[in-house]
Structure 1
Amino acid sequence: MRFFIKQQVMSLKDRFYVKDEAGRDRYFVEGEFLTFAKKLRIYDEHNNEVVYIEQKLWNFLPEFDLFMANEKVATVKKEWAVFRNNYSIIGQDWHIEGSVTAHDYVIKKQDRVIADINKKWLSWGDAYEINLYEEHDLEILLGVVIVIDCVISAARGNSST
């Protein structure tokens, strides 16, 4: 399965849309404005909240918790690495390996690739292409991609993306 996340820049709230291969909106993400920690909510096409993301403050490296139905399902922690963007996903036994410059990532469970993420420059703007090889973790994987984008945006010093 393949999905695309396009981020809306220049809005008062963070807003992302997740489209499927046919270009249909499958999910949208809204962020709370004027909060110290990033707080984002992923909604399905019926406006049901499926994932809540909250940044943990006061950590040396970025860290975010993901919740589903008010239960924490994962913690995304950026790892210290030179020339790499690596993350641990605690609670899912996943690991993310990525390129600092290319914005390409591989998500692994043990030694098995379960998804890859590639930044694309499409005619309608920047987007992340997500290729999922295991459908059952779709919404958590989408949350992880949103977290990665938040970390990249914060590193660039751009709070609107």
Structure 2
Amino acid sequence: MIHVYMKEQYVARKERIIVKDEFGKDIYLVTGKWGNIGDGLYLYKLDGTLIAEVKQTKLALFPKFDLYLSGEKVCSISKYQGLKNPYFHVTRIHWLVTGDFVKGHYKITHLTKTVMTMEKAYLASGDLYALAIQREQDLPLCICIALILDHWAIRRTPKKIKKERLRLQTYS
């Protein structure tokens, strides 16, 4: 199993993202932006080699992205509304991405097998996502999907959290 870490909310700020391994060593660099059809993010090795890219192909409440490895389209990922929570379906490779968009817990499965889990981790240096990926060859695609999930995560500001706590206290 491979463990990697990336900062939360960097995609929303259009900043570069450094992906680190479990020992804190920089292994990938992500650049790019969202917002328009054709915009995308690019995953590079630290030597400058382009590994993977994500391109947005549909702007909507339920967007669609194409994922490329070494310049070749590998799959597409689309968001759908489930009964309880939204989910993503990854075509061609038949992955299903489910999770809690408020708490930041996600899981990618292929049939009954787990491909990746993604959890929020809170450190003094900032909020991170901890990715646990089963197979090394899935690493670039899993990082790209994690970037999409970070982009669509529900953000709660401290003010909203405080209001919710007050509301809960009044019913106690």
Same fold (TM over 0.5): yes
How far the C-alpha of 1:100 sits from its partner, in A, is 2.6
Corresponding residue SS for 2:81: coil
Name the stretch that deviates more: 48-57 or 8-17. Answer: 8-17
Letter matched to residue 46 of structure 1: D
The alignment's TM-score, normalised by the length of structure 2, stands at 0.80
Whole-Å Cα distance in 2 between the matches of residues 108 and 117 of structure 1?
A: 12
Whole-Å Cα distance in 2 between the matches of residues 52 and 117 of structure 1?
A: 20
Instruction: Identify the residue that residue 16 of structure 1 maps to in structure 2.
Output: 17
Instruction: Identify the residue that residue 64 of structure 2 maps to in structure 1.
Output: 63
Letter matched to residue 65 of structure 1: D
More helix by share: 2
Corresponding residue SS for 1:141: helix
Alignment CA distance shift 1:109-1:7 (3 Å): same
How far the C-alpha of 1:59 sits from its partner, in A, is 3.9
Instruction: Identify the residue that residue 102 of structure 1 maps to in structure 2.
Output: 103
Whole-Å Cα distance in 2 between the matches of residues 77 and 11 of structure 1?
A: 19
Alignment CA distance shift 1:55-1:112 (3 Å): same
Does the Cα contact within 8 Å between 1:86 and 1:98 map onto a contact in 2?
A: yes
How far the C-alpha of 1:145 sits from its partner, in A, is 0.5
Alignment CA distance shift 1:101-1:12 (3 Å): closer
Instruction: Identify the residue that residue 36 of structure 2 maps to in structure 1.
Output: 36
Does the Cα contact within 8 Å between 1:43 and 1:49 map onto a contact in 2?
A: yes
Corresponding residue SS for 2:86: coil
Letter matched to residue 24 of structure 1: K
How far the C-alpha of 1:97 sits from its partner, in A, is 1.1
How far the C-alpha of 1:82 sits from its partner, in A, is 4.5
Q: Which runs of 5+ in 1 are unaligned?
A: 157-161
Name the stretch that deviates more: 23-32 or 1-10. Answer: 1-10
Whole-Å Cα distance in 2 between the matches of residues 77 and 146 of structure 1?
A: 14
The alignment's TM-score, normalised by the length of structure 1, stands at 0.85
Does the Cα contact within 8 Å between 1:7 and 1:16 map onto a contact in 2?
A: no
Q: How many equivalent pairs are there?
A: 154
Instruction: Identify the residue that residue 138 of structure 1 maps to in structure 2.
Output: 139
The CA RMSD over aligned residues, in Å, is 2.4
List structure 1 segments (4+ residues) > 4 angstroms apart after TM superposition.
Answer: 7-12
Q: Which runs of 5+ in 2 are unaligned?
A: 156-172
How far the C-alpha of 1:55 sits from its partner, in A, is 0.9
Whole-Å Cα distance in 1 between the matches of residues 8 and 85 of structure 2?
A: 23
Letter matched to residue 36 of structure 1: N
Alignment CA distance shift 1:12-1:151 (3 Å): closer
Letter matched to residue 132 of structure 1: I
Name the stretch that deviates more: 124-133 or 7-16. Answer: 7-16
Q: Tell me whether 1:2 sits opposite 2:41 in the alignment.
A: no
How far the C-alpha of 1:17 sits from its partner, in A, is 1.1
